[in-house]
Amino acid sequence: LPMAAADPQVLALAAQVTESGEQDIPLLLLKLKGILSSPSLGCEESKKIKQDIYDYGLTQYCLLVLRQDHSRLRGGWATAAQLAEILSHCCVGLEMKEDPEEFYKKFLPSAVDNLLVLGKRLQVRFIRAIKDKEKQDFLHWFQTVTDAICWLFGGHIQLAACVLQNDRFLQLLITDDVETAVIMMAVLHNILRINSSVFLQVDKATLHSILDELVYKLSSTTNPAVGSAATKLLLVVAKLSKQLVQLLTARYKGLKGLLNKQWTGKGFDRELNQLLDVLYLEQSNGKGEMQKQHQAACIIQATWRGFQTRKRLKKLPQAVTTLQRSFRAKREQELQHLAKQKEDEALKLQMQLQRQRAMRLFHERQLALLERVHASQVNKYMEEMEERSALTIQRFWRGYRARRIFHQQKQSLKEYKAAVIIQRTACKFLEKRRRRRPLSPWKEPKGLTDEQRLALQQKVDDYIKLHPASQMSEEMSKELHMQAQEKLAQFLLRSRLDQRAAQRRETLLAQVNTDVELLMNAPGLAETTEKDIGVFVSRSVPVATKARQSHNTMLKYTHWPWWKKLGDEFMEDDTIPDEALNTELETLFIGGRK
């Protein structure tokens, strides 16, 4: 880098940029605008400063900053638009004598590409913006960037072809937005004004795409601004060469009818009539029916091509993003499925090994215990093991059922907890608001006069005389304390006795309910076994006595003579009379209560 005779401001700014972080560089580069716009600079001094700025790498820093995402940088899109303007002013008027190929063939095309990318980002955000203030800001920044592009290829004419052949320029031109479309057509008009031969140097695909878009804008909109800009552009193109006029008349055979019907009397009749005169000179108005159909087909094709190109360009980023998202999601899902499958297999194998090990240990423990237990105690031991197994199964079943009920009630429990949290938060909020409530301003009480003070003192003395304070001696206080202690002890004793009586009542009720269930579920005499007899052995002597009396009554009834059973001919043999049955049940119930 040349260190002699360098501008001190440029040198100081280069040092600050080198020592600063990435977030501070864009704001530091804005100082170049003040250096370039200094009124004391002459033509040669301005070129010298621009050369120093390029040599110290500040122009390259501007280019690198334009490639970043400006929504995350300090200053945002306004800083990016100003840096674009600074970059174009730094490049225009700069003549490179050392290594010109690097500057003209690499740096300048890269600057044009970055400016077009920045313009596309601003155009997209302008279309998506909802608020009027945001739309105005983005439109202003978009205008600044396009002006920088025009200034750049105005100073370097060879960049006009680079701008036209760039795909992003075509993307900026192909839009349905009126404001940005008019601005881009103005940029195209500046390109043709500065370098009119560039339109004949571009390839046919680019030329046809630009003409298709201009014709499509004439056929698809009724906005006078768009129509005027497109008509003026077609007039400039038609004046460039006869070859382009032939292309317009051959490719768009319905263009003259479209211009006559739709755009006559819209405020730009002079340019419109000039364009129609040029088109009519190339091709006569006497056409047959077949030629008219051909013109209509060309208009339809141009409209369809413009629509398809616009639709494809709009859907391309979304399609790529959707494809990438779907691919990543599918790959992540497959990886998760494989990992889960491996975990399930490992868990299944581990559970199988644990079951086998537990079964082996259980059998070994059983064999060891059977060797120790005496032969006469084997049956008893097996019964105990069966009982323990049954208890274990019951315990696990109750746990499973409780967990299932808990999971079923989990949602309601979660809602209850959420309600509790909301209530707690609301109470805290109300308490804080109550505490923060400003106190009423202090109002100093009005002073009392001497007469009012004397009257108030007299009222207080009269009240004290009428209601003297009662004084209690120490003996009365102790006596009152002892009475309170005795009443408290009596209350505690009575509550303890009531609690014992309640427990005894609950115990008797449970015993009675158990006996009733046993009697209701008891089998018939023909099905009774020795084990069933032990169930009905009562632990209460009165109950056993009443049961024995009832049994004897039923036996006597069966041994009655025939003349006492004359009313029971149609009863079954095992049927017991209602009176005897009621007597038995009442006896058992009374005995159970006693």
Residue pLDDT, tens place only, 383-422: 888 898 899 999 999 999 988 888 888 888 888 899 999 9
339 in a structural domain:
yes
**pLDDT given for residue 343 in this prediction:** 93
Res 480 pLDDT > 50 = yes
Out of 8-17, 31-40, 341-350, 354-363, pick the least confident: 31-40
The candidate with the shortest Cα–Cα distance to 145, out of 170, 178, 180, is 180
Higher pLDDT, 125 or 378: 125
**What's the confidence (pLDDT) of residue 119?**
86
Helix, strand or coil for residue 442? coil
Is position 244 within any domain? no
pLDDT of res. 574: 47
Q: Which of 513, 584, 581, 512 is nearest to 546 (CA)?
A: 584
Domain count of the fold of the chain: 2
pLDDT at 443: 58
292 belongs to a structural domain? no
Residue 93 lies in a domain: yes
Q: How far apart are alpha carbons 385 and 475 in whole angstroms? A: 72
Angle at 460 between CA 459 and CA 462, to 5 degrees: 65
Q: Which two tokens stand for residue 349?
A: 């194998």
* Domain membership of residue 369 as a residue range: 310-373
In the predicted model, what is the mean pLDDT of residues 181-205?
84
Model confidence at 594: pLDDT above 50: no
Q: Tell me whether residue 209 is in a domain.
A: no
Position 190 in a domain:
yes
Query: Using an 8 Å Cβ cutoff, are 96 and 106 in contact?
Result: no
C-alpha 29/C-alpha 14 separation (Å) is: 9
Residue 329 pLDDT? 92
Predicted pLDDT at 471:
67
CA atoms of 215 and 218, how far apart (whole Å): 5
Q: What is the pLDDT of residues 315-359, one digit of tens each?
A: 788 888 888 889 999 999 999 999 999 999 999 999 999 999 998
Q: How far is CA 175 from CA 147, 167, 214, 233, 376, in A?
A: 19, 14, 11, 17, 101
Q: Is 340 inside any structural domain?
A: yes
The pLDDT score that the predictor gives to residue 341 is 92
pLDDT at residue 4, rounded to an integer = 45
pLDDT of residue 585: 42
pLDDT digits (tens, 9 = 90+) for 234-245: 888 888 888 888
Taking residues 463-487, report their average pLDDT: 83
Of 330, 357, 373, at which residue does a domain stop? 373
What Rg do the C-alpha atoms of the chain give, in angstroms?
Answer: 53
In a domain, 78, yes or no: yes
Helix (H/G/I), strand (E/B), else coil: 271: helix
For 501-560, write each residue's pLDDT tens digit.
999 899 888 888 887 887 787 777 777 777 777 666 666 667 677 777 888 888 888 888
Tell me the residue ranges of DSSP E strands in 358-452.
none
Domain boundary among 351, 373, 395: 373
Return the pLDDT at 425.
93
The pLDDT, as a whole number, for residue 566 is 65
Indicate if the pLDDT at residue 287 is higher than 60: no
Nearest 5°: phi and psi at 568?
-115, 30
Residue 406: the pLDDT is 84
Is 319 found in the same domain as 191? no
Q: What is the pLDDT of residue 370?
A: 75
163-177, 332-346, 571-585: which has the minimum mean pLDDT? 571-585
218, 231 Cβ separation under 8 angstroms: yes
From 339, 373, 407, give the residue that closes a domain: 373
| Separation in Å, CA 384 to CA 379, 390, 515 | 9, 10, 27
